[in-house]
């Protein structure tokens, strides 16, 4: 049934170009389906209504009842700066947009509201189509029931592909000039689309993002986000928001409608010229499910001669959740971390050159994740003559501090042919020594500038301050001086109690412990060997 409907969809076959890189002129396409305003949203939403006493947060990790009660449309506060109201956009000359929304088990009410906010708050003449990619959700109808809506195209993955391949699939069938990606739980605000299209039309290598407002998971209140933020990350390569620098802030104060250059994008909401997206290699389609793709595409855009901006006059709300509402293939609680590390590692291996070692020093466990073959992505980098990561750091993200050699070093800690080893232990368990195998894993340690001995997010900790006390692995806390060790003369002396040194005496019985520091005591002598290779 689905296949047939797809065939009868209104796909533009003939594309005319009027000059190189100018936008397409299209024949008028016949689409006699209903405009969104005539879609029976009540009926659509009733099908998945919560039954009484059902936990409203269980399925989607947001309050589904609150979302359902709002329905398909609502007014939201116009959160733009007042100066945005007087910016003029020449709608007739703007390129056409294909909106791409992928989802896996999204709630009907958030999905339809995302779509409705696109249709209701964009000039109709600028929307080529809304492409909805159902990434193998449990209920097929959530998508197929929407087929009655004009300009809407539905694709379904029979097998779960993850958001990265799903977006590429949507992009491949887009007929518009500019691709606009959205998560499936957004609400586009007044005038959101014009600024995005205008910036891209002026220069096709600009990739632009709206300011992302916050929709509350508890009551679905629409809350304005700060307009003084840009995207950033630390060496763990996890996305975070950074405050603008003083200069950037001044620019915004003088001209609140001006674009904000951003080192990375959050990932879900952005517009990119279709031909530029194709030219720079779409996405890395060997990345799976979720995570890391935003860092990768951000590095790639900057390093391969594009730029990234946040446009303050474009605002879109997003439901930010603390937990994934869906499972990851392979199940289990830690699986999401695995996919995240794998995807992120692919990004690091392809784009970060020698700087990837800081990532591995910060997240030692990442070195053990299999990341597959990246050769085609390296070829792409070569073919496009992309700039080195050093250039990116110096020109795009100078705020990211490069660790000095004392700051963070990754390596192993050796005593004759034994190395300090976690033996796979976790929090509140002992740490010991084991024959050195020089392949990282449980024998990977980083020494940080604040004097921690760190394995992933666990630190070697002195719990009781007396000779003979056994050391434990505990979460690292910057202020916990019992985890701080002074490494000098090949000894690790505890910072809190200078008399105590890390000692391997009786390690077979009780793991590593502390003993009164003694000159030339073999069981207290440690070599820290830096591993150069990332
Ligand atoms: O297997 C999947 N298939 C999918 O189609 C998993 C997810 N998805 C869909 C999902 O239904 C949703 O529409 O993909 C979209 C993104 O997934 P979310 O909403 O679970 O992701 P998120 O909002 O937690 O995460 C942010 O980081 C992701 C990293 O891979 C993506 O880039 C998201 O698009 C991104 N969201 C945003 O940038 C919105 C602002 C959040 C911030 C900061
Ligand atoms: Mn999201």
Q: Do 372 and 346 contact (CB within 8 A), yes or no?
A: yes
The pLDDT of residue 2: 39
Q: Please compute the mean of the pLDDT values over residues 397-413 and round it to a whole number.
A: 81
> Ligand 1: which atom is nearest the Cα of residue 325?
20
Alpha-carbon distance of 252 to 244, in angstroms, equals 9
Q: Please compute the mean of the pLDDT values over residues 305-329 and round it to a whole number.
A: 93
Distance 111 CA to ligand 1 centre (A): 13
pLDDT in tens, 119-138: 999 999 999 999 999 999 99
Q: Is the pLDDT of residue 336 over 80?
A: no
Distance 267 CA to ligand 2 centre (A): 9
The string of DSSP letters for 90-102 reads -GGGSPPEEEEEE
Q: Do 154 and 83 contact (CB within 8 A), yes or no?
A: no
The string over 420-447, giving b where at least 16 C-beta atoms fall within 10 Å of a residue's C-beta and e elsewhere, is bbbeebeeeebbbbeebeeebebbbbbb
Q: Do 284 and 351 contact (CB within 8 A), yes or no?
A: no
The structural domains of the chain, with segments of one domain joined by +, span 2-220+250-286+298-319, 408-530
| Token pair in block for residue 243 | 């405050």
Q: Do 252 and 258 contact (CB within 8 A), yes or no?
A: yes
Q: Do 444 and 412 contact (CB within 8 A), yes or no?
A: yes
Which among 388, 289, 393, 278 is positioned nearest to 341, based on CA atoms?
289
Q: Is 318 in the pocket of ligand 1 (CB under 6 A)?
A: yes
Residue 520's pLDDT band (boundaries 50, 70, 90)?
A: confident
Distance 279 CA to ligand 1 centre (A): 24
Q: Identify the DSSP state of 182.
A: E
ipTM of the complex: 0.98
Q: Do 295 and 222 contact (CB within 8 A), yes or no?
A: no
Q: Is the pLDDT of residue 14 over 60?
A: no
Q: Is the pLDDT of residue 16 over 50?
A: no
* Nearest alpha carbon, ligand 1 atom 41: 266
| Distance (Å) of CA 401 to CA 156, 276, 280, 408, 484 | 43, 31, 28, 12, 22
253 Cβ contact list (under 8 Å, min separation 6): none
Superfamily of domain covering 2-220+250-286+298-319:
Spore Coat Polysaccharide Biosynthesis Protein SpsA; Chain A (3.90.550.10)
Alpha-carbon distance of 181 to 168, in angstroms, equals 10
Alpha-carbon distance of 221 to 215, in angstroms, equals 6
Q: Is the pLDDT of residue 17 over 60?
A: no
Question: How many Cβ atoms sit within 10 Å of the Cβ of residue 41?
Answer: 17
Q: Is 319 in the pocket of ligand 1 (CB under 6 A)?
A: no
Distance 289 CA to ligand 1 centre (A): 9
| Token pair in block for residue 344 | 């992120």
The pLDDT of residue 55: 92
- Residue in the block written with tokens 């109690």: 497
pLDDT in tens, 411-441: 899 999 999 999 999 899 999 999 999 888 8
Residue 214's pLDDT band (boundaries 50, 70, 90)?
A: very high
- Residue in the block written with tokens 């959050």: 266
* Nearest alpha carbon, ligand 1 atom 30: 291
Q: Between vectors from CA 21 to CA 19 and to CA 23, what angle results, nearest 5°?
A: 80
> Ligand 1: which atom is nearest the Cα of residue 324?
20
Residues in the chain: 534
Q: Is 288 in the pocket of ligand 1 (CB under 6 A)?
A: no
Q: Is the pLDDT of residue 9 over 50?
A: no
Alpha-carbon distance of 124 to 199, in angstroms, equals 19
* Nearest alpha carbon, ligand 1 atom 42: 266
Q: Is 102 in the pocket of ligand 1 (CB under 6 A)?
A: yes
Distance 128 CA to ligand 1 centre (A): 23
Q: Do 94 and 126 contact (CB within 8 A), yes or no?
A: yes
Residue 19's pLDDT band (boundaries 50, 70, 90)?
A: very low
Residue 515's pLDDT band (boundaries 50, 70, 90)?
A: very high
Distance 318 CA to ligand 2 centre (A): 7
| Percent of the chain predicted with pLDDT > 70 | 92
Out of 2.80.10.50, 3.20.20.190, 2.60.450.10, 3.10.20.340, the CATH code matching 408-530 is 2.80.10.50
Question: What ligand is nearest to the CA atom of residue 166?
Answer: 1
Alpha-carbon distance of 523 to 502, in angstroms, equals 8
Q: Is 165 in the pocket of ligand 1 (CB under 6 A)?
A: no
462 Cβ contact list (under 8 Å, min separation 6): 469, 471, 482, 483, 494, 496, 497, 500, 514
Q: Please compute the mean of the pLDDT values over residues 213-230 and round it to a whole number.
A: 97
Residue 534's pLDDT band (boundaries 50, 70, 90)?
A: very low
> Ligand 1: which atom is nearest the Cα of residue 133?
5
% helix, strand, coil for the chain, step of 5: 30, 25, 45
Domains 2-220+250-286+298-319 and 408-530 agree in fold: no
Q: Is 103 in the pocket of ligand 1 (CB under 6 A)?
A: yes
pLDDT in tens, 447-473: 888 899 998 889 999 999 999 999 999
Alpha-carbon distance of 316 to 453, in angstroms, equals 43
Query: Greater confidence, 266 or 29?
Result: 266
Residue 191's pLDDT band (boundaries 50, 70, 90)?
A: very high
Alpha-carbon distance of 318 to 390, in angstroms, equals 33
């Amino acid at each position: 049934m689905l296949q047939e409907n797809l065939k009868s969809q209104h796909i533009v076959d003939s594309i005319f170009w009027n000059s190189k890189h100018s936008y397409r002129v299209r024949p008028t396409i016949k689409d006699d389906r209903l405009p969104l305003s005539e879609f029976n949203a009540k009926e659509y939403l009733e099908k998945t209504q919560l039954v009484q006493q059902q936990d409203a947060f269980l399925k989607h990790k947001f309050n589904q009842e609150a979302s359902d009660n709002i329905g398909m449309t609502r007014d939201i506060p116009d959160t733009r700066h007042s100066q945005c109201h007087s910016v003029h956009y020449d709608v007739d000359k703007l390129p056409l947009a294909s909106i791409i929304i992928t989802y896996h088990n999204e709630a009907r009410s958030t999905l339809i509201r995302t779509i409705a906010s696109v249709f209701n708050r964009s000039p109709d003449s600028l929307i080529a189509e809304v492409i909805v990619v159902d990434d193998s959700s449990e209920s097929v109808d959530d998508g197929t029931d929407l087929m009655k809506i004009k300009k809407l195209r539905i694709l379904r993955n029979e097998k779960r592909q993850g958001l990265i391949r799903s977006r590429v699939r949507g992009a491949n069938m887009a007929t518009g000039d500019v691709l606009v990606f959205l998560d499936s739980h957004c609400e586009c605000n007044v005038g959101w689309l014009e600024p995005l299209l205008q910036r891209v039309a002026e220069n096709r290598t600009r990739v632009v993002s709206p300011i992302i407002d916050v929709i509350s998971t508890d009551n679905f209140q629409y809350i304005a986000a700060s307009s003084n933020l840009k995207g950033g990350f630390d060496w763990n390569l996890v996305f975070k928001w950074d405050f603008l620098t003083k200069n950037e802030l001044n620019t915004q104060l003088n001209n609140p409608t001006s674009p904000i250059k951003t080192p990375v994008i959050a990932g879900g909401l952005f517009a990119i010229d279709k031909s530029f997206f194709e030219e720079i290699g779409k996405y890395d389609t060997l990345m799976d499910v979720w995570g890391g793709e935003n860092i990768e595409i951000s590095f790639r855009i900057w390093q391969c001669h594009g730029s990234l901006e946040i446009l303050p006059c474009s605002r879109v709300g997003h439901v930010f959740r603390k937990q994934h509402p869906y499972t990851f293939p392979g199940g289990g609680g830690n699986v999401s971390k695995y996919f995240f590390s794998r995807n992120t590692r692919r990004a690091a291996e392809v784009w970060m050159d020698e700087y990837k070692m800081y990532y591995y020093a910060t997240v030692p466990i990442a070195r053990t994740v299999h990341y597959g073959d990246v050769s085609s992505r390296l070829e792409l980098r070569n073919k496009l003559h992309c700039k080195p990561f050093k250039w990116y750091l110096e020109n795009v993200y100078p705020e990211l501090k490069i660790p000095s050699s004392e700051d963070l070093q990754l390596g192993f800690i050796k005593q004759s042919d034994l190395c300090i080893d976690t033996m796979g232990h976790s929090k509140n368990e002992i740490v010991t020594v084991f024959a050195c195998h020089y392949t990282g894993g449980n024998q990977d340690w980083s020494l940080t500038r604040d004097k921690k001995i760190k394995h992933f997010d666990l630190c070697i900790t002195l719990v009781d301050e007396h000779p003979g006390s056994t050391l434990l692995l505990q979460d690292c806390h910057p202020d916990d001086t019992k985890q701080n060790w002074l490494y000098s003369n090949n000894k690790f002396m505890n910072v809190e109690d200078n008399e105590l040194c890390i000692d391997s005496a009786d390690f077979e019985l009780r793991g590593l412990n502390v003993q009164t520091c003694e000159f030339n005591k073999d069981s207290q002598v440690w070599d820290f060997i830096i591993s150069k290779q990332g």
